[in-house]
């Protein structure tokens, strides 16, 4: 079957499945990319020649089917991310700051940090050349960034050896803030798009959240960090400085999803936020993307 006919059939099956139950079998991960893992079942024959249907996971799919750039034909670049929201936001950031058609970028939504380590290891990198254009972006979740990177590199080392580690390291961004949500918390931009009335309103909302949720914040720090590190961060967050003076620490060490949630309708205005933002608002992310000629050669000049 010609490739375009194949894609047409795939689209038709997906559309039909929205209102009717559809079953199809495949050995290609290309057909799986538009479906949730909960919709996928692995079919095998057991020792008694009986058909066995069972749930599976990303690691098993990758092990059985493999994953390579051949499976994502007509893609210029691959970015591994942690979730649907990150995927949408990075796509909008790229569209705003680069002259790039994001339909040519394949965003791999890995659903969680642990899955990034599974998904971005073994099969994708074993099956592709390290000249391939790919990047990994993940949250720090208040953890020590170097520890996260070392853990991820150890996963690669176990499966690929030492040869490509330096090149892989340059393709990994662990965000300085706890999550991508925290990059959408510039009070000047929030005021422009009508999320807050004033900067005082912004800092008051954050101060109230920190004061009212102290126990939850500390519990999360303890869950994600060693006791010693959690205690150090707690002392930073709850010292006597005004909220404005420690906002950068708050973005690093308070769960970004929760901070983002303080500002009501912001979830529906992230595209508008990006429109009114400056390169400084996403400097860490843009600096990382600029490491790749694919992005740096197509960067827009934005005043």
Q: Quick one: 189 and 217 in the same domain?
A: yes
d(CA 240, CA 87): 37
pLDDT value for 2 = 47
Is residue 89 within 8 A of residue 270, CB to CB? The reply is yes
Q: Is 62 among the domain residues?
A: no
Q: Quick one: 81 and 17 in the same domain?
A: no
Task: Find, among 73, 21, 22, 109, the residue nearest to 9 by Cα.
Answer: 22
d(CA 153, CA 72): 25
Query: What is the total count of domains within the chain?
Result: 3
Q: Quick one: 94 and 167 in the same domain?
A: yes
Q: Is 86 among the domain residues?
A: yes
Q: Quick one: 11 and 92 in the same domain?
A: no
Q: Quick one: 230 and 139 in the same domain?
A: no
Q: Quick one: 213 and 265 in the same domain?
A: yes
The string of DSSP codes covering 62-88 is HHHH---GGGGTT-SEEEEESSHHHHH
For residues 147-159, average pLDDT: 82
Q: Is 103 among the domain residues?
A: yes
Q: Is 61 among the domain residues?
A: no
pLDDT value for 252 = 97
Q: Is 214 among the domain residues?
A: yes
Task: Find, among 269, 282, 257, the residue nearest to 178 by Cα.
Answer: 257
Question: DSSP character for 135?
Answer: E
Task: Find, among 182, 241, 210, 83, the residue nearest to 220 by Cα.
Answer: 210
pLDDT value for 14 = 66
Q: Quick one: 23 and 92 in the same domain?
A: no
* Domain encompassing residue 275: 181-281
Q: Quick one: 191 and 267 in the same domain?
A: yes
Q: What is the pLDDT of residues 169-225, one digit of tens each?
A: 888 999 999 999 999 999 999 999 999 999 999 999 999 999 999 999 999 999 999
Identify the domain boundary among 150, 176, 202. Answer: 176
pLDDT value for 4 = 44
Q: What is the pLDDT of residues 20-71, one digit of tens each?
A: 777 767 666 555 555 566 677 888 888 888 888 888 765 566 556 555 544 5
Q: Quick one: 207 and 231 in the same domain?
A: yes
Identify the domain boundary among 154, 176, 198. Answer: 176
Q: Quick one: 124 and 193 in the same domain?
A: no
Q: Is 33 among the domain residues?
A: yes
Q: Is 161 among the domain residues?
A: yes
Q: Quick one: 195 and 274 in the same domain?
A: yes
Most confident of 97-106, 143-152, 234-243: 234-243
Q: Quick one: 231 and 199 in the same domain?
A: yes
For residues 227-237, average pLDDT: 96
Strand partners, 135: 79
Model-level pTM greater than 0.75?
no
For residues 119-136, average pLDDT: 58
Q: What is the pLDDT of residues 251-263, one digit of tens each?
A: 999 999 999 999 9
Q: Is 297 among the domain residues?
A: no
């Amino acid at each position: 079957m010609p490739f375009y006919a194949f894609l047409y059939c795939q689209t038709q099956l997906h559309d039909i499945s929205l209102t009717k139950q559809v079953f199809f079998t495949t050995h290609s991960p290309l057909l799986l990319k538009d479906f949730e893992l909960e919709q996928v079942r692995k079919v095998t024959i057991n020792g008694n020649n009986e058909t066995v249907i069972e749930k599976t996971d990303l690691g098993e799919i990758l092990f059985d089917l493999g994953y390579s750039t051949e499976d994502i034909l007509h893609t210029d670049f691959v970015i591994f991310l942690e979730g649907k929201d990150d995927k949408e936001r990075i796509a909008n950031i790229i569209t705003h700051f680069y002259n790039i058609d994001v339909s040519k970028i394949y965003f791999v939504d890995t659903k969680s940090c642990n899955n990034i380590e599974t998904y971005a290891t073994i099969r994708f990198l074993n099956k592709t050349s390290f000249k391939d254009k790919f990047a990994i972006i993940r949250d720090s979740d208040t953890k020590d960034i170097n520890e996260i990177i070392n853990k991820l590199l150890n996963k690669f080392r176990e499966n690929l050896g030492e040869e490509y580690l330096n090149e892989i390291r340059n393709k990994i961004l662990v965000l300085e803030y706890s999550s991508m949500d925290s990059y959408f918390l510039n009070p000047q931009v929030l005021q422009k798009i009508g999320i807050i009335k004033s900067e005082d309103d912004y800092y008051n909302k954050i101060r109230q959240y920190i004061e009212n949720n102290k126990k939850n914040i500390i519990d999360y720090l303890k869950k994600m960090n060693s006791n010693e590190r959690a205690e150090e961060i707690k002392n930073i967050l709850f010292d006597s400085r005004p909220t404005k003076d420690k906002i950068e620490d708050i973005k690093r060490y308070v769960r970004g999803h929760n901070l983002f949630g303080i500002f009501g309708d912001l979830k529906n205005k992230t595209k508008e936020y990006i429109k009114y933002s400056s390169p400084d608002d996403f400097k860490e992310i843009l600096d990382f993307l600029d490491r790749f000629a694919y992005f740096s050669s197509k960067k827009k000049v934005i005043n």
